[in-house]
Structure 1
């Protein structure tokens, strides 16, 4: 703010225009939280003010929004991002009364901010936002808040998670009354809020809250509605939706636990889950979604056999097709869509090896070859799934044996397979073709796979010279 405020004051004085700091920055300042989203409103000439501000800091000006335009000034070198918009209404009071929640309906004249400090007596608070901030309550500003913008229903839950606040009872009722309107929103906006929610801990709690308390989760994901009616069988004592939310909880318990896995496995998971898949969406975000949707195919796969036993054979395949459509509706990238598909389609694979009591080199190599770089994600979802199932079925059962099984596979993947996952780091097809006169029936890809297997099984060392010698032997 040391750079931003003086420049804006100069522009405001020159243009004779009032400029206000508004919204989330003030909220988080009062909560002693950091906030890189800095929003200003101006009485008039927002575009001109934004343009002059951008020029004054050598920043880039971006025009955003549709009918209600606002202007973003970005200076990546100084890590400055500022949004400037024209106030809505006749004055700042009217503008604040058109905002979403009382804790965001706060403003301060930038001329009254001294040394970057904001005092309560200078805050314009027309909706009692300071009182709600002190009480830890998310409350709507006006009764048509969710009619004006149904995305605010998701924002309410996101702020609950972000700030660890409670939702006002009247606000809850308004959301339930307007819940169907969220279906009419562009899915890009739904996805934006959904992935913000996935960034915080206890996602399972807020998914459950959206389902049981607000009834909006099924509006966003109608595919979950049939899951309420099925799922109870020999292995499950609750319906599929309840199990899926519980699986998400277990996955989060594992992810955020300190010392659940042995150190090198834990560190590998920490590094792996931070990786960006697309946009700012991480593998951790997608693991959470994968855990939630892992059994979404059960309603379509339900069968009753000749003994009267309910079975869900193939639910992972039907579920993968369903989650693919969900990903497309959410406008996720192809990479994200394919990862979610794989998480759901393959989540049973580690369990099959457990049931068969088979963790042989051959079995593990086969699984790693299928799962590749997504192995750790699917192992985690599989572990969460089996613990969520067994804890309810047999509460006194020792869960450590399932952890040991998955940890062994994760360790094997990290120490034996990961380094050869990209075999081109050791030897390339081009190098093989340059070294050997291959016949028409010899495929370079097959030779690379043979090298990968030989390294995994310990037949040769993981270097180019050993690989070339091995190829010479088998040709």
Structure 2
């Protein structure tokens, strides 16, 4: 066999090969498993294509495992799937031909040969197959020189790229995703076809586009994918708010940085430090409010006042448009966008314990992620400037650690609740309750009173009296 498999994987493949032999059904291992094994990437699933009934092969193969896994059948697609105990996924399909209509990416299919099936694959590196047949077991079937493309780190379509992308426009996103994940180049004519067919992406559901976008974001160097999306103008169609960041404007010799490429640098910096998808989304969106807040001030230059707050308000709308989850993940991203200037601003002033407490309190359990984002946001072509900012930032981090160790603010909740305020003063929910609660919280954050119940209770009585309230007997 031309790929290096573990003993367990070889055992699995032989069980499938035995089932295919019993059914007199030619069978091949195809696609991602073959590609990733050649590249030395981890694999967690395998696709099998047979010249015949894929569902029948899955059923027969499952009986060769003990205990026999439960097989899921998808009759509309002629496919079947089962998962082995150790989490390895196996999918079976009959070899087929495909034909498409212009308004849909869902093809009309008919039975075909292994050659027909390889012809319909998206890229040459995904069309590689390995025979599981008795006469040539282990032989690599590579009609489009996919192995050469892999060695040259090239993404190329097996057939005419215009037809490939017109038939299934999601393949344009997949081409860019593979280029980003594998750090491969897209063959020039294939890339030009993406540019020519970019409008076809409009027939693809937002959910499928976002799945590919998230995979690009999770790649080792996401900027590769975003530059390709931008250069092909796909990004203009699927995420125009990000395109609005591009470009630098000059007035009276004063210009601002290109915030699109700055954002990509921040995203790559975060990717080096964390694999968290939502932290990476915070990097993408941290400056998204800059186009709306850009102003030129005489004698000063370009400003983006309030872009953190404006960007925070944009986050929920972007999540809705991209069909990203409207849950705690969105709130996390919004919080980091709104807070991303705070730690940096502390490097420019004498850092008071009060300012540190407020940052720790506002960031709460997301403080570490905020600091990763902020450190990643320190970018400049001037290495001396970057080093100076990083040194100042290290000072802020140390001060935060000192205050956190002393005051435990990140998981802190004010010792006086609104319910207690209402009970003590015998009042219903009202603005006065909120004002007293805020006053207690601010007094603790500002160091006016210590962070303990008795001090907070006495301060509550004082603030209640100032608001014309008396404790009930």
> Shared fold by TM > 0.5?
yes
Q: Name the TM-score, length of structure 1 as normaliser.
A: 0.76
Describe the shift of the 1:111–1:449 C-alpha distance in structure 2 as closer, same or farther (beyond 3 A). Answer: farther
1:216 matched to 2:224: no
- Secondary structure of 2:93's counterpart equals strand
Deviation at residue 187 of structure 1 after TM alignment: 1.9
Deviations 1:317-376 (A, max 9, x none): 222233322222222222222222222222122233333x14322112212222212222
Does structure 2 conserve the Cα–Cα contact (< 8 Å) formed by 1:42 and 1:86?
yes
Structure 1 contact 101–141 (Cα < 8 Å) conserved: yes
CA distance in 2, matches of 1:359, 1:351: 11
Distance (Å, rounded) in 2 between the aligned partners of 1:162 and 1:218: 21
Q: How many residues align?
A: 427
- Aligned: 1:146 with 2:184: no
**1:61-106 C-alpha deviation (Å, 9 max, x unpaired):** 3456x9645322123x322211112221320011001001101111
Question: What's 1:339 paired with?
Answer: 332
* Equivalent residues in 2 for 1:62-461, closer than 5 Å: 62-63=72-73, 68=77, 70-75=79-84, 77-89=85-97, 90-111=112-133, 119=138, 122-143=139-160, 144-212=163-231, 214-229=232-247, 237-252=256-271, 255=273, 273=274, 284-305=276-297, 309-334=301-326, 335-355=328-348, 357-385=349-377, 387-388=378-379, 390-391=380-381, 398-408=388-398, 411-412=401-402, 415=405, 421=411, 440=426
Alpha-carbon deviation of 1:4? 2.5
Residue in 2 that maps onto 1:281: none
Name the stretch that deviates more: 149-158 or 244-253. Answer: 244-253
Give distance in 2, aligned partners of 1:363 and 1:423: 17
Q: RMSD between aligned alpha carbons?
A: 4.0
CA contact (8 A) 2:125 2:147 kept: yes
Distance 1:15 1:112 in 2: 13
Residue 17 of structure 1 is matched in structure 2 by 25
1:108-127 CA distances to partner (integer Å, 9 max, x unpaired)? Answer: 2223599xxx85xx111111
Identify if the C-alpha distance between structure 1 residues 417 and 48 changes in structure 2 by more than 3 Å, giving closer, same or farther. farther
Unpaired segments of 5 or more residues in structure 1?
Answer: 256-272, 275-283, 462-466
- How far residue 306 of structure 1 moved from its aligned partner, in angstroms, is 6.8
SS in 2 for 1:363: helix
Q: CA deviation at 1:221?
A: 0.8
Within 2, Cα distance between the matches of 1:249 and 1:235? 27
Distance 2:228 2:155 in 1: 14
Alpha-carbon contact 1:20-1:107 (below 8 Å) kept: yes
Native 8 Å contact 1:137 1:165 kept in 2: yes
CA distance in 2, matches of 1:208, 1:362: 42
Q: Distance in 1 between matches of 2:220 and 2:400?
A: 24
Q: Which residue number in structure 1 is paired with residue 69 of structure 2?
A: 59
Separation (CA, whole Å) in 2 of partners of 1:249 and 1:16: 51
What is the SS of the residue equivalent to 2:159?
A: coil
- Using the size of structure 2 for normalisation, the TM-score is 0.76
Q: Which residue of 1 aligns with 2:108?
A: none
Report the alpha carbon displacement of residue 40 of structure 1 after superposing the two structures with TM.
0.7
User: Which of residues 10, 16, 28 in structure 2 aligns to 1:8?
Assistant: 16
1:62/1:72 contact within 8 Å kept: yes
Unaligned runs of 5+ in 2: 1-8, 98-111, 462-473
**Partner Cα separation in structure 1 for residue 382 and residue 372 of structure 2:** 19
Q: CA deviation at 1:20?
A: 1.3
Distance 1:227 1:92 in 2: 46
The C-alpha deviation readout for 1:192-234, integer Å capped at 9, x for no partner, is: 222222223221233223323x332222211123323566689
Q: Which has the higher helix share?
A: 1
What CA distance in whole angstroms lies between the structure 1 residues aligned with 2:383 and 2:201? Answer: 36
Q: Is the CA contact 1:451–1:470 (under 8 Å) kept in the aligned structure 2?
A: no
Q: 1:409 to 1:441 in 2, by over 3 A?
A: farther
Contact map agreement 2:365 2:410 (CA 8 A) in 1? no
Distance change (3 Å), C-alpha of 1:193 and 1:329: same
SS of the residue 2:288 aligns to: coil
**In structure 1, distance between residues paired with 2:445 and 2:293:** 40
